[in-house]
Structure 1
Amino acid sequence: MNRNRKIPKEVIALFDKYIENNVRSLHKEDAIKMLMTEFGLDHEQAQNMFETFDKDKNGIMSIWEFQQFYMCAGTCIPDIVAKFQEIDKDGSGRLDVEEAREGLKSLKTATGRTLTDREIEFFIQTTGSDDKSIDLGHFTNLMYRLKLYKADAPTTNIHA
């Protein structure tokens, strides 16, 4: 069975530009370089994305982990970063509970509906770190979970 069949061709093509010896995995430095080059992230943002999507925490991004990133962010990453920075009022690189609460209240789903207080609290509880703050990587996952945009679309449906 061909394992590559389930991975979209554009994901493979992008990832394969950075691999060596047909090994479909990237060490942390190479993965960060790819995320910066291909998605316009700065070093800190790329490192945060790497740490979020390196699910097994082995310091290597596999093609499968990259596919997860691509499914969540795709070509929409500039819009996600811009929305995150807009919500991150103190510029700390993390959304504290209050910033997250206010930011999520300002978003509308693709159907035009705002999130309920109960939904917002659920997402803060299940998305954040132990202190309930949310970094860019987890924010990206959250936007995907909320289905506020399609990751493979050239433009987002994130509404403020």
Structure 2
Amino acid sequence: MAIRKIPKEVEQMFDKYVTNFTRRLKKDAALNMLEKEFSLSEEEADIIFGVFDKDQNNELSLWEFNQFYNTIGGDAHTYLAMFNDLQKDHTGLVDIERLWDVLKVMKTAQGNTLEEKDVEMFIKSTAGSEKKIDLPKFINLLCRVKLFRGGVEAH
């Protein structure tokens, strides 16, 4: 497995909020960074923090921030708006049928579209047995789609 270097702009943005040598941001500092650097509301920043605090230790590591930055960072508002558009009757849950249509045309980071079986796999694995996708699950889904290496090559 290749070790990927963290881009300098990611390190610089993160380091503006670091107060020690551990390169970890306590939740308050991480929320402050997400609100200021990405113009997120307090609620949006809290949801994003929860999705990317992978080890659930109430801190955001440089690695976790890099995952956020490289998967949705600059598109955070677009993804939040997409969630709002896909909500079913303002329930806080995505309309699965409408999500299916969106995922069929969504492109991965490599510019590929998803095959039907991939769309089904993403929706089933995200919705789980309760067959519901809330905002944190939706953001996680979009990150996984973006990083997905399969799919049909776009022409």
Q: TM-score range by the shorter chain?
A: 0.7 to 0.9
Q: Cα offset for 1:124?
A: 1.9
Confirm or deny: 8 A CA contact 1:101 1:121 kept in the other structure. Answer: no
SS in 2 for 1:26: strand
SS in 1 for 2:118: helix
Confirm or deny: 8 A CA contact 2:127 2:133 kept in the other structure. Answer: yes
Aligned position for 1:61 = 60
Answer yes or no: is 1:109 the counterpart of 2:106: yes
In structure 1, runs of 5+ residues without a counterpart are 149-160
SS in 2 for 1:29: helix
SS in 2 for 1:15: helix
Aligned position for 1:73 = 72
Aligned position for 2:136 = 137
**Residues matched between the structures, number:** 141
Confirm or deny: 8 A CA contact 1:72 1:144 kept in the other structure. Answer: yes
Confirm or deny: 8 A CA contact 2:35 2:42 kept in the other structure. Answer: yes
In structure 2, runs of 5+ residues without a counterpart are 148-155
Q: Cα offset for 1:17?
A: 1.2
SS in 1 for 2:25: strand
User: Higher mean Cα deviation, 57-66 or 39-48?
Assistant: 39-48
Confirm or deny: 8 A CA contact 2:26 2:58 kept in the other structure. Answer: yes
| 1:106 partner amino acid | V
Question: Percent of aligned positions with the same letter in both sequences?
Answer: 40
Greater RCO, 1 or 2 (C-alpha within 8 Å, sep 6+): 1
Aligned partners of 2:60, 2:143: CA distance in 1, in Å? 20
Aligned partners of 2:91, 2:39: CA distance in 1, in Å? 20
Which residues of 2 match residues 23-42 of structure 1 at below 5 A? 23-42=22-41
TM-score (norm 2): 0.76
| 2:145 partner amino acid | L
Q: Cα offset for 1:32?
A: 1.5
Aligned partners of 1:144, 1:19: CA distance in 2, in Å? 25
Confirm or deny: 8 A CA contact 2:51 2:139 kept in the other structure. Answer: no
Q: Cα offset for 1:64?
A: 0.8
Confirm or deny: 8 A CA contact 1:25 1:61 kept in the other structure. Answer: yes
Q: Cα offset for 1:129?
A: 5.5
SS in 2 for 1:68: helix
TM-score (norm 1): 0.74
Aligned partners of 1:85, 1:62: CA distance in 2, in Å? 28
Aligned position for 2:45 = 46
Aligned position for 2:96 = 100
User: Higher mean Cα deviation, 125-134 or 17-26?
Assistant: 125-134
User: Structure 1 residue runs of 4+, over 4 Å off?
Assistant: 111-115
Aligned partners of 2:112, 2:45: CA distance in 1, in Å? 30
Aligned position for 1:156 = none
Aligned partners of 1:112, 1:55: CA distance in 2, in Å? 27
